[in-house]
Amino acid sequence: MRRGVVAATAVLAVTAAGLSATGTIGPPGRGEPAPGRAGPGAGCTTSVPYAAGTGGYAGYRIPAVVRTPAGTVLAFAEGRTAGAGDSGDIDIVVRRSEDGGCTWDTPRVAADGGGDTRGNPAPVVDPRSGDVVLVSSFNGAEATESRILGGEVPAARGRRVFVQRSSDDGRTFSAPREITASAKRPDWRWYATGPGHALALARGPHAGRLLVPADHSAAPPPGSPDTGREPRYYGAHALLSDDGGRSWRIGFVDDTYDGVVNSNESTAAELPDGKVYFGTRDQLGTGPGNRADAVSADGGATLARPFAPQRTLDGVPVVQGSLLYVGGRDRTLLFSAPSVPTERADLALWSSRDGGLTFGRLLTVARRKAAYSDLVRLDARTVGLLHETGARSPYETVEFRRIALPADQGGPAGRHGGTPP
């Protein structure tokens, strides 16, 4: 689990390649750049920064991506030594691209698990210093999520929270510094930062605040026959820092634990009025669909209302998703996730023009297996999508795609191609 209307009429187009008549972007093929290599000029549409079985890792999962003030794209992932499992010997790795995601430098280890698990990268650029701040999670190699949920793992080997920073454009990162005492309540068992990029708020009284969407699980109340493995004990929360990531505190906490919406892996976007929109994976709640949302009017410190099912995203399976506010005339908010309700497949983009009240499907990125994803703004014309995908399994590669924005969303005028599926 760790690593979870008014339909828009505008359609996104892929740089240089365009969309097919079905609105689907296919996998790399003839005429497209080879994985990790740039195409001719600005014609690059896709690259593969991570492929299972390469670079000393059996697999890569849990993508996260940011763009630095220098324009460098940083693609983070978990490098899993033994296989696709969520625990074991896992490092956080990063690759840099100085050409918008067409080519990538040598992979670097941002956080070495040392035989244990370091994962759930949640990077963000601190607007004051320009540093890249990386918040992540840790547990002992032997500590599976099930054992942690059941309270069977000592605190030192259970889920802990760390922060690092890079002052050289993502080339090197400081040693992980533990912040568990200020980031995790004593009665919480499971804990996960992100996954996906964190936020630096840009508007209103909390401008400059760093906000990390996160989730946790609570221990059952005394006397309960529950083990803690029941999905109802999951909840979302936010981590906040007002000093560039040097100190942290817990913001809002979803602690309803009623089994209706079991908020889990979360993502967030800042809206033009300064409110923060949160989307979450609903982990087997009894409410309809698999996505829920909430809004904060005070920079993530509290929620204006509890998480509620987001019915216009009912086509999304139980999985992580990503949010990115791109603005433009329509004040567009994007969401990415697989689009088959019962399977991790057919990665798609949705769009909201009303601050997340409703979403309409824009396009299908690819008709193939797909799982976690993360969105990043590359420039005024283009967004990037870092996502897990493959032909037989969603976890064969972590792929990067450049997607051009239509004119009404701040992009260039011209042919957009394709139609919403």
- Check which CATH number belongs to the domain holding 200 and give it: 2.120.10.10
pLDDT score for 84:
80
What's the CA gap between 291 and 281, in Å, rounded?
5
- With CA atoms as reference, report the closest residue to 10 among 397, 327, 367: 327
Nearest CA to 149 out of 1, 310, 38 is that of 1
Question: Which has the minimum average pLDDT: 188-192, 295-299, 394-398, 411-415?
Answer: 411-415
d(CA 295, CA 277): 5
Mean pLDDT confidence for 9-29: 31
418: in domain: no
Per-residue model confidence as pLDDT tens digits over 268-319: 999 999 999 999 999 999 999 999 999 999 999 999 999 999 999 999 999 9
Q: Which residue spans within 68-209 are E strands per DSSP?
A: 73-80, 90-97, 108-111, 117-125, 132-139, 160-166, 177-178, 188-193, 199-200
Structure tokens at 48: 């593969």
65: nearest Cα among 356, 410, 387 = 387
3-state secondary structure of 176: coil
* Mean pLDDT rounded to a whole number for the chain: 88
Is pLDDT above 50 for 10?
A: no
Q: Which residue has the tokens 């990115």?
A: 324
| CA atoms of 379 and 385, how far apart (whole Å) | 13
Tokens for 383? 């967004």
- Round to whole Å and give the CA distance between 265 and 282: 8
Exposed e or buried b for every residue in 389-401, given b needs 16+ CB within 10 A?
A: bbeebbbbbbbbb
Within-domain flag for 5: no
pLDDT at position 111: 98
Q: Which amino acid is at 332?
A: T
Region 50-67: mean pLDDT is 98
Residue 50 falls inside a structural domain: yes
Beta pairing, strands 397-404 & 46-51: antiparallel
pLDDT at 244 over 80: yes
Residue 421, in any domain of the structure: no
Residue 420 belongs to a domain: no
Neighbours of 255 (CB within 10 A): 17
Please count the structural domains in the chain. 1
CA separation for the pair 59, 84 (Å, rounded): 6
3 part of a folded domain: no
Question: How confident is the model over 382-392, as a mean pLDDT?
Answer: 97
**Tell me, what's the pLDDT at 20?**
27
d(CA 202, CA 270): 8
**CA nearest neighbour of 187 among 225, 238, 221, 164:** 221
367 part of a folded domain: yes
Is there a domain that residue 328 lies in?
A: yes
Residue whose C-alpha is closest to residue 408's, from 74, 8, 10, 7: 10
Q: Output the six-digit token pair for 272.
A: 């033009």
Domain that holds residue 384: 13-409
Q: How far apart are CA 113 and CA 92, in angstroms?
A: 8
21 pLDDT higher than 90: no
